Every structure is written in structure tokens, then in C-alpha cells.
Amino acid sequence: MTPFGERVRALRAARGVTLKQMAADLHISSAYLSALEHGKRGQPSPQLVRQVCGYFGIIWDEAEELERLAALSHPRVTVDTAGLTPRATELANRLAERIRSLDERTLDALLGILDETPPPGGGRPRRNGRR
């Protein structure tokens, strides 16, 4: 499941909407919506994210968060370490090798480290409201 899929599923459950009903209301196939929720399809289009926001009446910060989750929801990630240090390449490869075996506690710890690191170009670290 992707971060976007997890959030859409939670929104549907909170409002008592079935996958089939939501898909019909958005004029997309239920198979496609299911594949998005389960991470079997790539990132949703910006238009679909806006449709989902409209469907659930999501605005402002919550809509921005859903857009952010959609951007982080590509199930097949490529990490380009060309021009980076050998340690960066090692990290990317070791993570790729072990990602399936990491438990939630370890994932939360790694994400916490990333959340504390300023994004490229400076600015403030991103804080995620993870559990």
C-alpha cells in the first residue's frame, strides 16, 4: 500500500464509502482505484488528487498533505546516486536490499532522521504527523 492509498482508504472508511461507490462517483474503474490504494499503480495524476479532495471536501492544509502523499506514492522508486559519494551509493543499495525486511519501528526511526534533515536548498525540515 502507498501513503496516498492508505489515506484514501482511511477517508473512505471514515465516511462509509465503498471502493466501488467512490470509483463510480469519480468516473474511474474500481480496479484502478483498488490498484492505486494497494500500490500496484504509479502515482495518481494531479487531476485525480484534486477530484479526491473535492469528493471528500478536503481543502487547505489537508489537501496539500494529500498532494504530498500522492507525490510520495510511486511504488517503484529509482535512486540516482551519480555524482554522489560512494557512501551515498552504498546507502541506496543497502536500503534497496533490505527495505522488505524492515519493521515499522525501524522505518519510523529512519523516517524520523529524514524528517530532521533540512531539504535540499535549505529551508525547514519537514515534519510528518506519523503515528
User: How confident is the model over 91-107, as pLDDT tens digits?
Assistant: 999 999 999 999 999 99
Kindly report the CATH number assigned to the domain that includes residue 65. 1.10.260.40
Give the pLDDT confidence of 5-21 residue by residue, as tens digits.
Answer: 999 999 999 999 999 99
pLDDT computed for residue 125 by the predictor: 53
CA distance 4 to 6: 5
Provide the pLDDT for residue 119.
79
pLDDT at 48: 97
3-state secondary structure of 129: coil
Least confident segment among 40-49, 82-91, 101-110, 112-121: 112-121
C-alpha torsion 23→24→27→31, nearest 10: 40
Tell me, yes or no, whether 27 and 87 share the same domain. Answer: no
Decide: helix, strand or coil at residue 45: coil
55 and 105 in a single domain? The answer is: no
Residue 69 pLDDT level (bands cut at 50, 70, 90): very high
Domain boundary among 51, 71, 91: 71
CA distance 97 to 127: 27
**Same-domain check for residues 61 and 120:** no
Which of 54, 77, 49, 51 minimizes the C-alpha distance to 65? 49
pLDDT band at 82 (very low <50, low <70, confident <90, very high): very high
pLDDT > 70? residue 126: no
Place 74 in a pLDDT band, splitting at 50, 70 and 90.
confident
